[in-house]
Amino acid sequence: MGKVVIIGQGYVGLPLAIRAVEAGDDVVGLDTDTDRVKALGAGLSFVEDVSDERLMRALETGRYRTSDDYADAAGFDTCAITVPTPLTDGVPDISHIEQAALQIAVHLRRGCTVILESTTYPGTTEEVLRPLLENTSGLDAPADFFIGYSPERIDPGNPTWHLENTPKLVSGIDPGSLAATMAFYQRFVERLVPVSAPRTAELTKLFENTFRHINIALVNELAIVANKLGVDVREAIGAAATKPFGFMAFDPGPGVGGHCLPIDPSYLSWQVKREVGQRFRFIELANDVNEGMPRYVVQRIAAGLNTRYKPVNGSRILLLGLAYKSNVGDLRESPARAVAELLVDLGADVRAVEPHASPRDTGMLGGVTLVDLTVAEIRAADAVVLLTDHDDFDYPLIEAEARYIFDTRNRCHGGVVELL
């Protein structure tokens, strides 16, 4: 493939860059975050799916280097854009894609390929990326260069499904662009799934995450009503899951977090409203339910403390896990952080155990003291709240020492445990 540039060296871009190096490519990992560029260049990975050893091996080939300077993209053959697509003031913010497009466009050459991987609303590749690349470079796609869209499906920390064995959607603005996009990935992804146009691939990615978001909202609401009905929601879900067709089990929890579920569905509802003039009501409802979960968790903790003659104000509360899901250190949009903030606001003395968080992320935790999981911390807590069920927590120790456990993940057992 010759020279490859991966723009953005985050949760998506770093594993992709390393995989491309392993497949024999010469890769430049571009990122505007100078600290990240330096750390990666020194062999320090912050992504669970890429160990420091694997990163080091890639660096030692001499075919992987990190840079914060777009000049290092000169002469590239294939470029993949993996920059963030957040919501800003509740609306899609594709400014990172626009910036990346403008900066890479000056290095476009005849025959090269640009592939967008960031999650985004239908139309971005053809109506935003394409004109930016063409107008800045003076070249025409697909006559002079190719444009593809291939959304990332990576699930950070998943030990089974990773880049190589997760089927990857691919699309192009024309058959030549699709062929160029497939040629790039087929050397290191087992199965490619071509779809007819970037719009379809963009919509499919949003549909996948919206499906999950809505189903989680459904079981979360079910958990709330089942608690009031006096029914064990997990038993009901487990029983329903014995049906061999037409049912898929999802687990209730303290809300949704990370870079995908709280954000991607709103990209879809925003675009539907803008382009079709219609509300996507399922998405609005799911947002409403999932965003309300941290407050519900705090209400349940307050009720649990109340039965023990304790107000939240002044109580010592030990939160276990702040990341948005188990076995990762990503605190972005984590509902656990929302729970922590609400408890701090109510005057609780909040301590938290998060062995996976990086020091730069823990700076986001106002009012929360980070501690290690010790017998003394567990014993001193009026309530121990399991928010993220990391595998490396010592559950028998927690169960043996805690006075009261509120478990949002169905991981703890014993008489002092109350489940979400």
Ligand X SMILES: NC(=O)c1ccc[n+]([C@@H]2O[C@H](COP(=O)([O-])OP(=O)(O)OC[C@H]3O[C@@H](n4cnc5c(N)ncnc54)[C@H](O)[C@@H]3O)[C@@H](O)[C@H]2O)c1
Can you give the binding site for ligand X, defined by CB under 6 A? 7-13, 30-33, 36, 82-85, 96, 99-100, 118-119, 152, 154, 156, 259-260
Give the amino acid at 334. Answer: S
- Residue appearing with tokens 């169960």: 399
SS3 359: helix
Six token digits for residue 118: 């960031």
Q: What is d(CA 50, CA 385) in angstroms, rounded to the nearest whole number?
A: 30
Task: Using alpha carbons, select from 44, 270, 291, 259 the residue that is nearest to residue 154.
Answer: 259
Q: Would you say 92 and 270 are in contact if contact means Cβ atoms under 8 Å apart?
A: yes
260 has catalytic annotation: yes
CB 304, min distance to ligand X, A: 33
Nearest residue to ligand X, using CB? 10
User: Based on CB atoms, which residue is closest to ligand X, 48 or 418?
Assistant: 48
Supply the minimum distance, in Å, between the C-beta of residue 329 and ligand X: 12
Q: Are 202 and 124 in contact (CB under 8 A)?
A: yes
| CA distance linking residue 110 with residue 386, whole number of Å | 55
Q: How far is the CB of 313 from ligand X (least distance, A)?
A: 37
> Helix-strand-coil percent breakdown of the chain, rounded to 5?
40, 15, 45
Closest contact distance (angstroms) between CB of 32 and ligand X is 4
Is the Cα dihedral 310, 346, 370, 293 positive or negative? positive
Calpha distance 190→172 (Å, rounded): 19
- The phi, psi pair for 378, rounded to 5°, reads -65, -45
Q: How far apart are CA 334 and CA 162, in angstroms?
A: 22
Task: Show Cβ contacts of residue 250 under 8 Å, excluding neighbours closer than 6 positions.
Answer: 212, 215, 216, 218, 219, 237
The catalytic residue positions are 260
